């Protein structure tokens, strides 16, 4: 039996499979099942600062200061022992901590500096073992340079690091122009790890109403390749932990990520589609693959195909477009 | 200060009633709803009574039901109570007779309110309480918030000790809604006053199979009388028992009460006798007059039944020479009101006795005051005392109005003031119902009440509108308890605030300001420019009164503090900063402390934003020097429409709109409550910040904007091109796109800029986007102020264009039907109201022949609350005739209209036949056999009837006159029964069900907001599972009642379930089909409401999601289909395609539960999703079923086939 243990954000984990930020973490039972299925840690769903704000405004408008008429002092009952979104998130951290043996990573999506620092402190106080900063910023303002955006993220991280003592990881979007440089900066600013990449609602156009609508799309194995390449590249240049996220559905997907250099792989869509069973099957698959090839541990495997260790380092760096085209041969019978 | 509370009367009473009850049966009715709401919330929070149990709080279908439940709970041994007012109390009367007849202890707490007569009124007087005099309930009055709490305790103790049930009452609004600082009653006091042995006695009397008895028997002439008399000793003893309870309470709390409390000069010669909140004002005036050396006094009646004349006489000073008894009710036709007569009899009997109290019987006169919360102030009290000094006082009088018809009213000097005005700090605030002014003021009162030694009082006056409702807050603070139960007088306020610059145009804001007062104005105009923007009259007053003037741009401060458009904190900070009521530092610290308490952990950051807003406010608040000179020009906007108004409107309606109703004399009023329609158009409330603007290059003339407008503020007209030639330059005209109209005609869509509320729904629904820029629609919102004058001119021109011919309009299409004139316009309904588009649609399609029976509720308030009504007429003067009977009987009321209409039509037909010779057979036959199924058919019949009328007037025989009086009934009428879900599902369901079964040609429109909207969002049987509502604070656990299914069960009822925001054509079709169906039709219309906790700019989206999630399936059930051999049910929406939560998560009524009871919420959401799928499936199966008759025929023929087989 190979040793599956790994470390992530400085936390020792029994294996590299970590259910990530998804609606599953709302449900204590589902998480207990995931732990039973072998999950090594839990990254909770993201607490969106915007969501907390929206919630506060809703309470304010409809409950604290409702519209009043001669016959109506408001229209909804308002008890003061009401729980806010933030409170229920913090309570969920406490509940998970009291029931789970595995580490709990809280996830935070903040849009303002004060929001991150303040919420981060509350999450630490609630018992989170680590924090994942879900850094999402659409660089749509032509007056803001890429560097300024990177600086903004780094200063958020630094500010948070002064306020909390637990490890902080960053989950990044794929839109940084020089990712290794950014990761280097994050590392020097105290980040304990990087997750690649976050996955968000994608705006879509509704052709019927000509309006913009939000769509949530679950990932597929095809989505792993983007993260895999970047992990392979980063593995050589950084020592902080790397998490692969997005598109890991099978043991094979996970193994590729580990080979590229990931310390852990995050699972969301696979669990949403197939439940805790997906996780245990992947564990079995990884173990079998390691045994078949006589690997003694995950540690041995990790990063063995990173860019640094790859027999063909340029494969990760080049566009490889032509090669990909070349590999395409039309089926017999197709006029070409 | 620990045992001080700053609360309103309802909370003061509920706070005691809850703690001494085990079962509380509730039903919403203004102004008592607050007591039930608090009880339900406390129970949901697990708060216990003084014996450690959580009272069971249950909502019933009506007050009759609540009283019945209380009766049952009492009979089964518990301590039970209920809260009500007005018509609600009247519905309880039958049970009250029973409860009293069985000597059963209970207390009913009543926020006394006028009973509807010539009109409904939600305001306070004693007409409801007086209607219960015969029930056998003891009647105990409270005069103030403090007393309401204390008497609640005293009543609870006395009823247990003396077995008589008690009706404890206090004045609706004046006491129930006044916020005051009072001393609390602790649990230990209550436990002491309701000792275990008395509670045990109540248990012992209970019905129990362990020791069974019979109660509620039926008695014959031999015994009923004696048995009734057998109770006399209990009634005789009860005043003594109440006094004992008062004494016990006084010992425990230091607050002493008597059955009749006298205040004033011990040697008073003139005495007023009265009860209720007016007594507080009378006491203040008496004390003031005593200080001036006047020998006057006041006798406050606390226990009115059982009447204790000895106690009354003992309380009156022996020096009394003249008494004025004041009643807050009117008994039409009686020679005096009840309290007067009781006092009179007591005095007269005593005078005739062996040892009379008075050597000379005092002169006694009787007055009415304060009906429906009519103002009652010290000047009026003074006038009543003065009335007793004249040689021949008016024996019967009124005070507070100008009666120039029967000349009963006493004149009074409006300038009269008591010392209390100088001793208290009065402040008046003008705000909107939506801008948080009232809640901020309640908060300020709490701060001052809780954090200082000062006493505080707050009273809030609302206008009857829901959109743009004006609120005037009257606050008082002072070192002594405040007895001033009247509004701030002219020139008495040391602080006046205008939170909305809008009111500068419409109200005399400084009328209340005292000399040297502070005036605070929220305005976007910079401090150095603001003076010139003030109306000249205001400038004059500011100079004359030496006003200290401050301005703040509160919206800007709120915006910069990241608080959106929430200005309440900003304005509250200004009040504390400049009113001088507290030192500024202390005041600001107190506000911040209050913010922290309000938001606590659940809104840390919103608290931060509030702190930021508070600090920013102090920087942005500017004093404006008031110049000695004032600008000469008046900037008021000319009143355009007023010039065309009728004399009635000019003399009565316009002053009412201007807020001058109190000064109108009796002679101006209709004697039977009849008012003209078509008056909302005179209001021009000018609420919108932005209005829709049409892009003629994009508009496809689909009519959807007109269809969705809740205020009928955007309209369509089609007209010959030449009529548009005289249009103002900016008037928009388009060539008509459809071939349905004559060639060369024009189409215009026009907005009424001063009637639009800016809700954006028309823009939201507009389907047409610029092909190159999707953000530009055919209709876009734009700033209103620069467009106001121009569009008002365009609107005037638009109104002058003729309406499109009703007989040719394609009424079964949206664009065609939207050319029909709405006869329901500019109501005061909420911005974005989901109900009004349905009513407007009905008036467009059928308005010129509609009779409307309207249940009490939102639709009766925006439909018929003075000063105006949105119902209006067409160019021929025809339009909906509207009335509201009661909440509970609306279906029956409408049925009566139908029966009368049909009967008089039949009378007309009989008389027509009898006069066939005189009128001419052909014409008679044409009148009798007219086909009035189409609009054209109706128009033709109208022409025939007017020919007939002309002919009859020339015949001029008695028979002709008889026929002439009923000839109009030959024209088809459309009877509409309109109301909300509170009526249809709950209180009126018995009647509705009966009318559904009647087969009569009525159309029922249920505006289903899924809560009692008008009274503030209480749970009804239409409330869906998982929603919180008042009276369902823990979330509604049960599935929504399926009214459509119940109605379909009758088989001969046309049923439709519609949601116009999801499918407008379906709604239109349903309305046309329902009206054409010659039997009962019911349309159940989904109506998004502010009570759902969603901004109503999302009204259509929520309707759409309600349908897509299966929460609101669209249906039509047309019994005529059956005759065609088809299944009558058609399910017109698809199976649920999105999860229920996609619909629910946008509405606070659902999301609140997530935060309150997360597990229950998840369970309810799952269940609600299942409900939706299941219901849709059931409907589909019903709609696909073979008709029973077809099935039976098939089965019969199958059976016949089988029988034949053996023979073969």
What ipTM was reported for this prediction?
Answer: 0.88
From B37, B63, B935, B1147, active-site residue: B63
Maximum separation of any 2 CA atoms in chain B, in Å: 118
CA-to-CA distance for B282 and B399, rounded, in angstroms? 13
The arithmetic mean of pLDDT across residues A96-118, rounded, is 85
pLDDT of amino acid A59: 82
Alpha helices in B858-934 (DSSP H): 858-864, 890-914, 916-919, 921-928
DSSP H or E segment with residue A132: strand A130-134
Token reading at B997: 């079964």
Residue B1023 catalytic? no
DSSP H or E segment with residue B974: strand B974-980
Residue B811 catalytic? no
CA-to-CA distance for B1141 and B1027, rounded, in angstroms? 12
pTM strictly above 0.90: yes
CA-to-CA distance for B1082 and B1084, rounded, in angstroms? 6
pLDDT, block means (10 residues), chain B with 1208 residues = 85 98 98 97 95 98 98 98 98 98 98 97 98 98 98 98 98 98 97 97 97 96 98 98 98 98 98 98 98 98 98 97 98 97 98 95 97 98 97 95 98 97 96 91 93 95 91 97 97 97 90 97 96 92 96 96 89 95 91 87 78 95 88 54 82 93 97 97 93 97 98 98 96 94 95 96 95 93 96 97 95 97 97 97 98 98 96 97 98 98 98 96 97 96 97 96 97 98 98 98 98 97 96 94 97 97 98 98 98 95 97 98 93 96 94 87 94 95 83 76 57
Q: How far is B160 from chain A (nearest CA, A)?
A: 32
Say yes or no to pLDDT of A332 above 70: no
The CA-atom distances, in angstroms, between B956 and each of A64, B549, B910, B961, B968 are 69, 71, 18, 6, 17
pLDDT of amino acid B1208: 41
Would an 8 Å CB–CB cutoff place B433 in contact with chain A?
Answer: yes
Q: How far is B866 from chain A (nearest CA, A)?
A: 14
pLDDT of amino acid A51: 81
pLDDT of amino acid B639: 56
Q: How far is A144 from chain B (nearest CA, A)?
A: 23
CA-to-CA distance for B619 and B623, rounded, in angstroms? 11
Q: How far is A221 from chain B (nearest CA, A)?
A: 27
The CA-atom distances, in angstroms, between B1080 and each of B584, B844, B894, B1117, B1129 are 66, 21, 11, 12, 16
CA-to-CA distance for A38 and A15, rounded, in angstroms? 8
Q: How confident is the model at residue A323 (pLDDT cuts 50, 70, 90)?
A: very low
Residue B812 catalytic? no
Q: Which residues on chain A are in Cβ contact (under 8 Å) with B469?
A: 69-70
For B138-169, the DSSP string reads EEEE--SHHHHHHHHHHHHHHHHHH---EEEE
Q: Which residues on chain A are in Cβ contact (under 8 Å) with B471?
A: 68
Maximum separation of any 2 CA atoms in chain A, in Å: 80
Q: How far is A140 from chain B (nearest CA, A)?
A: 18
Query: Could you say which residues from 565 to 584 on chain B have a Cβ atom under 8 Å away from some Cβ of chain A?
Result: 566, 568
The CA-atom distances, in angstroms, between B326 and each of B313, B318, B910 are 17, 20, 55
Token reading at A20: 């990530």
Interface of A with B (CB under 8 A): 52-53, 56-88, 115, 118, 210-211
Query: Could you say which residues from 752 to 771 on chain B have a Cβ atom under 8 Å away from some Cβ of chain A?
Result: 769
Say yes or no for a CB contact (<8 Å) between A68 and B462. yes
- For B172, which residue in chain A has the nearest alpha carbon? A71
Kindly tell me the sign of the dihedral angle through the C-alpha atoms of B1014, B1019, B1021, B1026. Answer: positive
Token reading at B147: 């007393």
The arithmetic mean of pLDDT across residues A58-64, rounded, is 85
pLDDT of amino acid B968: 97
From B19, B113, B174, B483, active-site residue: B113
Residues β-bridged to residue B518? B495, B548
Nearest to B1017 among A76, A84, A118 (CB): A76
Residue B30 catalytic? yes
Determine how β-strand B260-264 pairs with β-strand B296-301.
antiparallel
- For B767, which residue in chain A has the nearest alpha carbon? A209
Average pLDDT over all residues of chain A: 85
SS3 category, A265: strand
Q: Which residues on chain B are in Cβ contact (under 8 Å) with A62?
A: 1093, 1148
pLDDT of amino acid B564: 83
pLDDT of amino acid B2: 53
Say yes or no for a CB contact (<8 Å) between A82 and B1152. yes
SS3 category, B1016: coil
SS (H, E, C) B169-224: EEECCCCCCCEEEEECCCHHHHHHHCCHHHHHHHHHHCCCCCCCCCCCCCCCCCCH
Q: How confident is the model at residue A326 (pLDDT cuts 50, 70, 90)?
A: very low
């Amino acid at each position: 039996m190979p040793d599956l243990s790994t470390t992530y954000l400085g936390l020792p984990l029994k294996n590299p499979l970590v259910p990530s930020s998804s609606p599953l973490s709302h449900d204590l039972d589902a998480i207990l099942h995931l732990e039973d299925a072998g999950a090594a840690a839990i990254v909770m769903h993201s607490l969106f600062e915007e969501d907390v704000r929206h919630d506060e405004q809703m309470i304010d408008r409809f409950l604290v200061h409702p519209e009043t008429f001669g016959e109506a002092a408001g229209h909804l009952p308002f008890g003061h022992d009401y729980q806010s979104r933030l409170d229920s998130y913090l309570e969920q951290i406490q509940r998970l901590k009291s029931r789970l043996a595995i580490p709990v990573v809280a996830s935070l999506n903040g849009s303002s500096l004060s929001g991150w620092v303040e919420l981060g402190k509350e999450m630490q106080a609630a018992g989170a073992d680590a924090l994942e900063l879900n850094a999402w910023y659409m660089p749509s303002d032509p007056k803001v340079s890429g560097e300024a955006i990177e600086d903004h993220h780094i200063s958020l991280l630094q500010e948070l690091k002064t306020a909390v003592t637990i490890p902080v990881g960053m989950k990044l979007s794929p839109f940084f122009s020089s990712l290794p440089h950014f990761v280097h900066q994050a590392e020097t600013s105290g980040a304990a790890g990087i997750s690649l990449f976050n996955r968000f609602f994608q705006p879509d156009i509704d052709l019927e109403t000509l309006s913009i609508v939000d769509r949530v799309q679950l990932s597929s194995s095809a989505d792993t390749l983007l993260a895999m390449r970047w992990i392979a590249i980063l593995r050589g240049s950084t020592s902080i932990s790397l998490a692969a996220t997005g598109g890991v559905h099978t043991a094979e997907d996970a193994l590729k990520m580990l080979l590229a250099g990931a310390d852990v792989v995050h699972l969301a869509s696979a669990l949403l589609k197939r439940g805790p069973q997906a996780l245990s099957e992947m564990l079995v698959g990884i173990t079998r693959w390691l045994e078949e090839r006589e690997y003694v541990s995950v540690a041995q495997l990790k990063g063995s195909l990173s860019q640094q260790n790859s027999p063909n380092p340029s494969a990760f760096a080049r566009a490889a477009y032509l090669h990909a085209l070349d590999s395409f041969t039309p089926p017999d019978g197709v006029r070409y | 200060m620990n045992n001080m509370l700053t609360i309103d009367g309802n909370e003061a009473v509920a706070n005691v009633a809850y703690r001494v009850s085990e079962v509380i049966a509730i039903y919403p009715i203004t102004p008592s709803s607050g007591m039930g709401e608090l009880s339900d919330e406390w129970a949901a929070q697990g708060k216990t009574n003084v014996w450690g149990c959580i009272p069971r709080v249950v909502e019933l279908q009506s007050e009759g039901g609540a009283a019945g439940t209380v009766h049952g709970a009492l009979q089964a041994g518990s301590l039970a109570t209920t809260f009500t007012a007005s018509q609600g109390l009247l519905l309880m009367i039958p049970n009250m007779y029973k409860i009293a007849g069985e000597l059963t202890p209970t207390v009913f707490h009543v926020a006394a309110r006028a009973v509807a007569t010539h009109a409904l009124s939600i305001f306070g007087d004693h007409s409801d309480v007086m209607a219960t005099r015969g029930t056998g309930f003891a009647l105990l009055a409270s005069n103030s918030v403090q007393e309401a709490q204390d008497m609640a305790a005293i009543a609870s103790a006395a009823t247990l000790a003396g077995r008589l049930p008690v009706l404890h009452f206090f004045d609706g609004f004046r006491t129930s809604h006044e916020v005051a600082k009072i001393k609390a009653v602790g649990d230990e006091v209550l436990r002491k006053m309701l000792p275990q042995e008395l509670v045990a006695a109540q248990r012992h009397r209970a019905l129990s199979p362990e020791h069974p008895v019979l109660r509620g028997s039926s008695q014959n002439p031999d015994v009923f009388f004696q048995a009734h008399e057998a109770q006399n000793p209990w009634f005789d003893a009860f005043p003594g028992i109440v006094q004992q309870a008062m004494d016990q309470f006084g010992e425990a709390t230091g607050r002493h009460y008597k059955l009749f409390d006298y205040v004033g000069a011990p040697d008073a010669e003139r005495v007023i006798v009265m009860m209720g909140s007016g007594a507080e004002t009378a006491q203040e005036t008496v004390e003031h007059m005593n200080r001036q050396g006047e020998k006057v006094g006041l006798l406050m009646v606390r226990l009115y039944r059982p009447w204790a004349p000895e106690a009354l006489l003992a309380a009156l000073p022996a020096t009394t020479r003249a008494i004025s008894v004041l009643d807050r009710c009117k008994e039409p036709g009686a020679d005096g009101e009840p309290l007067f007569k009781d006092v009179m009899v007591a005095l007269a009997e005593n005078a005739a006795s062996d040892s009379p109290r008075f050597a000379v019987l005092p002169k006694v006169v009787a007055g009415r005051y304060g009906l429906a919360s009519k103002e009652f102030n010290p000047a009026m009290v003074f006038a009543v005392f003065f009335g007793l000094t004249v040689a021949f006082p008016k024996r019967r009088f009124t005070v507070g109005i100008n009666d120039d018809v029967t000349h009963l009213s006493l004149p009074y000097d409006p300038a009269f003031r008591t010392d209390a005005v100088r001793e208290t700090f009065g402040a008046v605030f003008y705000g909107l119902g939506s801008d948080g002014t009232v809640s901020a003021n309640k908060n300020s009162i709490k701060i001052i009440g809780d954090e200082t030694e000062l006493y505080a009082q707050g009273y809030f006056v609302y206008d009857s509108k829901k959109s743009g409702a004006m609120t005037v807050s009257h606050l008082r603070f002072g070192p002594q308890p405040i007895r001033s139960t009247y509004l701030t007088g002219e020139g008495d306020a040391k602080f006046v605030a205008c939170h909305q610059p809008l009111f500068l145009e419409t109200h005399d804001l400084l009328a209340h300001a005292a000399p040297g007062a502070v005036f605070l104005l929220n305005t976007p105009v910079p401090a150095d420019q603001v003076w010139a923007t003030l109306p000249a009259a205001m400038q004059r007053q500011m100079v004359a009164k030496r006003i200290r003037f401050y301005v703040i741009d509160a919206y800007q401060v709120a915006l910069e503090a990241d608080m959106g458009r929430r200005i309440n904190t900003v304005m509250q900070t200004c009040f504390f900063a400049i009113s001088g009521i507290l030192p500024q530092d202390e005041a600001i610290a107190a506000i911040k402390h209050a913010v922290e308490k309000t938001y606590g952990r659940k809104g840390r950051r919103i608290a931060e934003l509030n702190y930021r807003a508070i600090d920013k406010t102090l920087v942005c608040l500017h004093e404006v020097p008031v110049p000695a000179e004032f600008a000469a020009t008046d900037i008021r906007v000319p009143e355009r429409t007023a010039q065309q108004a009728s004399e009635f409107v000019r003399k009565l309606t316009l002053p009412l709109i201007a807020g001058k109703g109190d000064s109108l004399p009796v002679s101006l009023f209709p004697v039977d409550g009849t008012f003209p329609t078509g008056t909302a158009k005179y209001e021009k409330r000018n609420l919108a910040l932005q209005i829709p603007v049409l892009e003629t290059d994009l508009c496809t003339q689909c009519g959807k904007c007109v269809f969705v407008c809740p205020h009928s503020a955007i309209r369509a007209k089609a007209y010959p091109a030449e009529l548009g030639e005289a249009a103002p330059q900016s008037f928009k005209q388009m060539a008509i796109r459809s071939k349905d109209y004559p060639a060369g005609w024009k189409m215009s869509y026009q907005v009424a800029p001063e009637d639009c509320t800016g809700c954006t729904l028309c823009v939201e629904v507009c389907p047409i986007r610029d092909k190159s820029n999707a953000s530009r629609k055919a209709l876009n919102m734009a700033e209103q102020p620069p467009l106001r004058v121009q569009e008002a001119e365009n609107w005037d021109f638009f109104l002058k264009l003729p309406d499109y011919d009703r007989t040719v309009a394609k009424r079964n299409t949206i664009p065609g039907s939207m050319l029909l004139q709405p006869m329901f316009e500019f109501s005061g309904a909420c911005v974005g109201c989901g109900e009004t588009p349905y009513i407007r649609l009905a008036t467009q399609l059928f308005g010129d022949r509609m009779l409307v029976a309207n249940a009490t509720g939102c639709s009766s308030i925006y439909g018929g609350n003075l000063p105006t009504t949105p119902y209006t007429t067409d160019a021929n003067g025809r339009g909906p005739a509207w009335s509201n009977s009661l909440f509970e009987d609306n279906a029956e009321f409408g049925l009566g209209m139908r029966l009368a209409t049909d009967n008089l039509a039949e009378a007309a037909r009989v008389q027509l036949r009898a006069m066939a010779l005189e009128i001419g057979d052909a014409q008679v036959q044409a009148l009798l056999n007219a086909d009035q199924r189409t609009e054209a058919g109706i128009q033709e019949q109208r022409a025939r009837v007017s020919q007939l009328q002309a002919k009859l007037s020339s015949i001029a025989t008695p028979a002709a006159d008889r026929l002439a009086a009923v000839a109009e009934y030959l024209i088809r009428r459309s009877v509409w029964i309109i109301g909300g879900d509170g009526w249809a599902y709950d209180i009126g369901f018995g009647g509705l069900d009966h009318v559904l079964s009647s087969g009569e040609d009525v159309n029922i429109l249920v505006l289903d907001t899924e809560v009692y909207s008008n009274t503030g969002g209480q749970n009804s049987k239409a409330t869906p599972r998982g929603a919180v509502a008042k009276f369902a604070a823990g979330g509604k656990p049960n599935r929504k009642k399926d009214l459509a299914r119940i109605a379909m069960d009758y088989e001969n009822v046309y049923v439709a379930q519609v949601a116009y925001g999801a499918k407008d054509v379906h709604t239109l079709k349903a309305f046309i089909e329902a009206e054409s169906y010659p039997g009962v039709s019911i349309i159940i219309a989904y109506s998004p409401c502010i009570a759902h906790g969603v901004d109503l700019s999302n009204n259509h989206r929520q309707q759409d999601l309600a349908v897509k999630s299966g929460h609101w399936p669209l249906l039509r059930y047309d019994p005529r289909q059956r005759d065609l051999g088809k299944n009558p049910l058609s399910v017109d929406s698809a199976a649920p395609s999105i999860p229920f939560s996609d619909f629910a998560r946008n509405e606070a009524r659902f999301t609140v539960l997530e935060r309150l009871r997360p597990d229950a919420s998840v369970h309810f959401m799952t269940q609600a999703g299942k409900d939706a799928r299941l219901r849709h499936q059931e409907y589909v199966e019903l709609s696909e079923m073979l008709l029973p008759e077809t099935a039976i025929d098939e089965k019969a023929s199958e059976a016949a086939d089988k029988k034949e087989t053996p023979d073969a």
